[in-house]
Structure 1
Amino acid sequence: MRAMVLNAALLPLELERRNIPQPGPGELRLRVLACAICRTDLHIVDGELPLPLLPIVPGHEIVGVVEAIGAGVTGHRIGERVGVPWLGHSCGCCNFCLEGRENLCDAPRFTGYHRDGGFASHVIAEAAFCLPLALLHADADAARMAPLLCAGLIGWRSLKAAGDDARRLGLYGFGAAAHLMAQVALAQGREVFAFTRPGDLAEQAFARNLGATWAGGSHERPPVLLDAAILFAPVGELVPAALRVVRKGARVVCGGIHMSDIPAFPYRLLWQERSVVSVANLTRADAKEFLYFASTHPLQVHVKTYPLIQANEALADLRAGRIEGAAVLVP
């Protein structure tokens, strides 16, 4: 098998050839069809998250075909297409897991962070955390399915956190997650207001083409006050910027796993029962809900594909904001 491996932060990924692994008890071996690139992968490669034991193969938006099944696994078959998300394991016994909040598990293992991920031709995954993709169209392109497994799932959890009553919704950072959630929000009858990098006219046009009512720079004011805002851009200074454009009682949701420091801001921006909340990881229940929604409301998933060997180029394009939609590696 081939894998793009992170051996040290701030260094390029290196192509390695390895023996094809065998699944252990409770595991599946997948042949990777596509793996989307998430900003979290960039945070890992750039050393912005505490690094686990290295080396590690990044990638946690995986669409693969089951090639081998470990002992004790039921409910999966050879040749089945499944998805592998960020949450690769939860303990099942801590208070959070027992409360149905496995996204906050005290002893989680994340795909592409604690265990090798999908920047590879093959991957081993815990069967209980592999997501069935049978609900999606049988002929769906794997490259366009892959972003649903993080950009879609975290976006969905962020959208739920914004509240069902948020009819006018601001989206900051119009990348992989926002371009999907804009479509979901519109299908739910909401209005979307897109905030992009200042001066990024192409991204603003992209948002309007997807149905956004308004699109502008991240520090511009939309024509009306918003009911909620979701921040997908990992930029702390956008928190007070978003608070300035939401109504009383509104919520600002931080959807990323990492963000630069939030600067001090006057209390009046938070007053009148505005709130700032974060979203962490995902649950398998989130996945079930979102994949059902995606099966009944087909989404336009905009992708730019790269061969596996060009993983570093793809990361560089994501870092520089050169991707419209999502970057996807196709082994």
Structure 2
Amino acid sequence: MAVADARFAFPLGEEGSDVEVAPLLCAGLIGWRSLAKTGNAQKVGLYGFGAAAHIIAQVLVWQKKQVYAFTRPGDAKTQAFARGLGATWAGGSDELPPEQLDATIIFAPVGSLVPAALKTLRKGGRVVCAGIHMSEIPAFSYDTLWEEREIVSVANLTRQDGLDFLSIAPKIGIHTTTTTYALKDANKALDDLRHGRFDGAAVLVP
């Protein structure tokens, strides 16, 4: 039997199966931290509508904020998925939303999305880069950043972030959309993720 140090563990409650809860512990937590970085933004863009974004979209809708979902260009299936979760608008990452946004969160590890996201923002808006890695960010003209727009990153979360999110998740009634894979099929799960073959989160099971 393994014993976990209580200082590094979170109470999960009794609701939901292990598979349903699993995405909250990584995607949900880093998404929550990223959302906190947007401050009081009311119109929030989400680039890469996968595991984290499909959870945070539900938080934003519960907070009565507007969600603008950006997917791979032409990915009508994921755009419909986002609208089904309450997104005000959903379109390709090569599109501009119908109005300027207060903040965007980039979950996809694609550096070229940074200048694209900046172009969606109002003056003083913020881009939050939520990934632990990202491809090279291309050069862009200063006027894209000008007018006090900001770019920030998320490295990790605090224990308090985890306690706050996991206490509020049951109140929101977050529903995670999952696809399960056997542990031996982890490489297939990664390949399916790269190619957008499922909605929501992949969960590995024994």
TM-score (norm 2): 0.97
Shift of 1:205: 0.6
Corresponding residue for 2:64? 189
Aligned: 1:160 with 2:22: no
- Is 1:130 aligned to 2:5, yes or no? no
Query: Deviations along 1:199-247, whole A, 9 cap, x unmatched?
Result: 1110101001111111100020111000100000110010000111110
In the alignment, the residues of structure 1 paired with residue 184 and residue 135 of structure 2 have an alpha-carbon distance, to the nearest angstrom, of 30
Q: Which residue number in structure 2 is paired with residue 44 of structure 1?
A: none
Please report how far the alpha carbon of residue 296 of structure 1 lies from its aligned counterpart in structure 2 after TM superposition.
1.2
Residue 195 of structure 2 is aligned to residue 320 of structure 1: yes
Aligned-partner SS, 2:179: strand
- Distance in 2, Cα, partners of 1:139 & 1:234: 32
How many equivalent residue pairs? Answer: 206
Confirm or deny that 1:171 pairs with 2:11: no
CA distance in 2, matches of 1:207, 1:126: 38
Query: Aligned match of 1:304 in 161, 179, 194?
Result: 179
Match of 1:150 among 26, 43, 53: 26
Runs of 4+ in structure 1 over 6 Å off: none
Whichever of the two has the greater Rg, that structure is 1
Q: Distance in 1 between matches of 2:15 and 2:120?
A: 42
Equivalent of residue 203 in structure 1, options 78, 83, 104? 78
Q: CA deviation at 1:281?
A: 1.2
Runs of 5+ consecutive residues of structure 1 not aligned to the other structure = 1-21, 23-28, 30-68, 70-124
1:238 paired residue among 113, 117, 120: 113
SS at match of 2:123: strand
Query: What is the alpha-carbon distance in structure 1 between the residues aligned to residue 88 and residue 127 of structure 2?
Result: 19
Return the alpha-carbon distance in structure 1 between the equivalents of residues 119 and 71 of structure 2. 16
- Offset of 1:313 from its aligned partner? 1.5
| Residue in structure 2 matched with residue 180 of structure 1 by the alignment | 55
Q: How does 1:56-75 map to 2 (within 5 A)?
A: 69=3
1-side partners of 2:149 and 2:76: how far apart? 30
Please report how far the alpha carbon of residue 127 of structure 1 lies from its aligned counterpart in structure 2 after TM superposition. 3.9
Quote the Cα distance in structure 2 between the aligned partners of 1:317 and 1:127.
Answer: 35
TM-score by length of 1: 0.61
The structure that is strand-richer by fraction is 1
Q: How does 1:235-314 map onto structure 2 within 5 Å?
A: 235-314=110-189
Q: By how many angstroms is 1:286 displaced?
A: 0.4
Cα distance change of structure 1 residues 299 and 194 upon mapping to structure 2, 3 Å threshold: same
Unaligned runs of 5+ in 2: none
In the TM superposition, residue 176 of structure 1 has moved relative to its aligned partner by: 0.3
Looking at structure 1, the residues matched to 84 and 104 of structure 2 have their Cα atoms a distance apart, in angstroms, of 20
**Letter of the structure 2 residue corresponding to residue 142 of structure 1:** D
Higher relative contact order (CA 8 A, sep 6+): 2
Q: 2:170 corresponds to which letter in structure 1?
A: S
- 3-state SS, counterpart of residue 315 of structure 1: helix
Q: Using the aligned pairs only, state the percent identity.
A: 62
